[in-house]
Amino acid sequence: MIADGLYNLLLTTPSIAAIVKDRIYPVQAPEGASYPRLLYWQTSAEFEESLDEEAVEPERASWQIDCQARTYDEVKRLASLVRALFRAHKGSLGTSGKTCQYTKVTNETDVPLSPPDAGGAALYQTSLDIEIVYDPDQNC
């Protein structure tokens, strides 16, 4: 599954793991989960059909990765590392054994999640849209 590979790639990238540790969650974080953290989920998938039964057409999946942190500087630093990882990435997705033709970042958006509270603490999010192109026969 792509989700497993995505998780493994994020978890095994030292610069990202140094910031989020293992706080990488599908769809939503558990209640009370610490920051900074990453959330990921599939937003769409495209399947190519070929008239030639022998031809294997690549498939595409779009994923959103949300970087969340308590400061704007920290969320932008984390987003920069995730963006660098997925900019024209080819090959393995972490230790999952999945291989992709390439990945690319298609969009980045800042999303204010909460205004500062009385103590000055706020929550910031930068969302990255990632496209993954893969060979369906490789179970990516």
Domain positions in the chain are 2-47+59-138
Give the pLDDT confidence score for residue 140 in this predicted structure: 47
Give the pLDDT confidence score for residue 119 in this predicted structure: 74
User: Can you list the residues of the chain whose pLDDT is less than 70?
Assistant: 47-58, 94-98, 117, 136-140
CATH (one of 2.60.40.1170, 3.30.70.1700, 3.90.110.10, 2.40.128.20) for 2-47+59-138: 3.30.70.1700
Give the pLDDT confidence score for residue 121 in this predicted structure: 78
Distance CA 59, CA 93 (A): 16
CA atoms within 13 A on the CB side of 23: 19
